[in-house]
Chains A and B, each alone.
Chain A
Amino acid sequence: MTPTQIGMRDLRDGVLRTPLAFSLALRELQTRYSRTTLGPLWITLAQAVWIGGVAVVFSQVFHQEFKPFLYFLATGMPVWTYIATVMTEAPTVFVNSRGALEQFSAPWTVQVWKRLMVVSWIFAQHMMIWVVALLIVQPPITSYMLYALPGLAILFVTGWGAMLLLGVLGARYRDLQPALALSMNFMFVLTPVFWDPALLGEDRPIMTHFNPFYHFLEIVRGPLMSRPVAQESWTFCIVTMVLMVVLGCITFARSRRTLFNWL
């Protein structure tokens, strides 16, 4: 078998071994909060405190109604955290699992699945805050909200592809991780997470057109707020998803021969 074929087979076997990835993800979450009393509740709590605090302060600074703003934040913030975590943790997917790659002859892409599951679990915990906000604010429930489901699917599949791609690149280029961490801090302010672009009316600023993260945020947040999502956003996200998965698979398969040596 050529190295590329071994890489392709790894991608396939990684799918077959998702139960292993699931138990590994569970173990990581367990150990992260072992010896704490509140355990994984800290994940939800930290986000809830942040959202609550920002909602109180910014609704006054921007002279907005508290309840709609709280709902806006509680819907967008978990999605943003998911995107930012994927981007900052992806470059270390393979680097941090060197021991496991060397000791077990399991597919290497299991590590990608594991990381995606950990990040998704944290996302699910953050969405608990959205549920609470939904109960407090009681916005109109519409069938349009269901569009958030395909939005989420696109978000997760893109996350998988991006992790595979950035995981390989991050092993080869060690400053990718700090560079991405820095950029995501910057993008957090630039992307309408805690300010609402709808307030700016017709003059939508440029960062809502040429900002890839905005579109991914919008395909989940838009439906959940019963706000129509621009066709532009759906198209962009689907194209990016396909691109990420294809590029990720090709990069992994082609780099499989030397990948271990970069770790």
Chain B
Amino acid sequence: MARLTLENVTVRLPVVTNVSQRSLFSAAARTATFGRMGRASNGVGFVEPLTDISIDLKDGDRLALIGHNGAGKSTLLRTMASIVLPQSGRAFRDGDVSLLFNLGTALETEQTGRQNLDFYARYLGLSKSERLDMIEDVAEFSELGVFIDMPVRTYSSGMLVRMLFGAATASPRDILLVDEVISAGDAQFFQKAKRRAWDSFSRGRISVMASHAPEVIFDLCNKAIRLERGRIVDEGDPRAVWDRYYREKTVQPEAAAPAAESDAPASASLPAEG
């Protein structure tokens, strides 16, 4: 049985606001002078993208994350995937995860689609025959045709999205974490992707997805939470949570607009003394 539990999780990350903070020499100088040198250039601040988050997910839970840009959705997904670890609180996970974040950052553009997919499958730890099956499956889904044997650098962005989306949904693990990818691509692909995601979500035992597209959320999720400045401000049925979120957004457009546009951290603080 898959399970994903966060107990009072707070994530706090150091942020470099000053170049010299990344410098070994200024760190050495600070140490050597007992902090006198470089006090003025102390540029490590902290952001707290998640504050006191508690979530408990079991088999069959398909959770939607709703919220403005910068509300903490991506950080929450990364925390669930153990890419980012909490400062305090407990994150507990039982089951393998597959991730759909930032599609394409790990591509080798000089190699063919087939070779890249093979590596994708190797990362997942699939056996040789499973890898071949997966490549066939993705090739069929993404309609790449002869391009599957061409270097990835020759692909259009639409082809890339189709291939990577196909790859990420081909072999679902126990827990599937998705960040804003389904809305990419044209309308026809969108329908196809939604069907495939449905299929994949129902095989994956727990899924969590961040999305700004209400139709995706309503179709694919059975629970929702809304994040605001790194805190859970609302939870429940996806449609209800979305409606309340949407109403607030339209009632107070001037209040919501700046938050939606900036990627400002949920809450930030500079340390008083290093």
Contacts and interface: CB of A to CB of B under 8 A. Distances in A.
Nearest to B98: A105
Interface string A30-49: 11001100000000000000
A31 B102 CA distance: 22
Interface string B67-105: 000000000001001111101000110001111011101
B110 A104 contact: no
Nearest to B47: A261
Contacts of A260: 78, 83-84
A172 interface: yes
A88 to B, nearest CB: 15
Contacts of A176: 24
Given A99-B102, A105-B97, A173-B27, A35 B110 contact: yes
B83 A102 contact: yes
A105 B13 contact: no
A199 B25 CA distance: 38
A98 B78 CA distance: 13
Given A27-B111, A31-B111, A98-B105, A6 B85 contact: yes
A258 interface: yes
Interface residues of B, number: 37
Which interface residue of A27, A105, A106 has the most chain B CB atoms within 10 A?
Answer: A105
A257 interface: yes
A152 interface: no
Contacts of B248: none
B108 interface: yes
Contacts of B251: none
Contact of A179 (B22, B24, B27): B24
B155 interface: no
A45 B145 CA distance: 39
A260 B11 CA distance: 13
Contacts of B103: 103
Given A34-B110, A102-B105, A173-B22, A23 B85 contact: no
Contacts of A34: 110-111
A176 to B, nearest CB: 5
Contacts of A30: 111
B101 A3 contact: no
Given A27-B111, A31-B111, A105 B81 contact: yes
B236 interface: no
Given A102-B102, A260-B83, 5 more contacts: A3-B85, A34-B110, A102-B99, A102-B101, A179-B24
The 5 closest A-B pairs by CB, nearest first: A99-B105, A173-B24, A104-B123, A99-B106, A257-B85
17 contacts: A20-B125, A23-B119, A27-B108, A27-B115, A101-B83, A102-B78, A102-B83, A103-B105, A104-B124, A105-B98, A105-B99, A106-B123, A172-B22, A174-B22, A256-B85, A258-B13, A262-B14
Interface of B: 13-15, 22-25, 27, 78, 81-85, 87, 91-92, 96-99, 101-103, 105-108, 110-111, 115, 119-120, 122-125
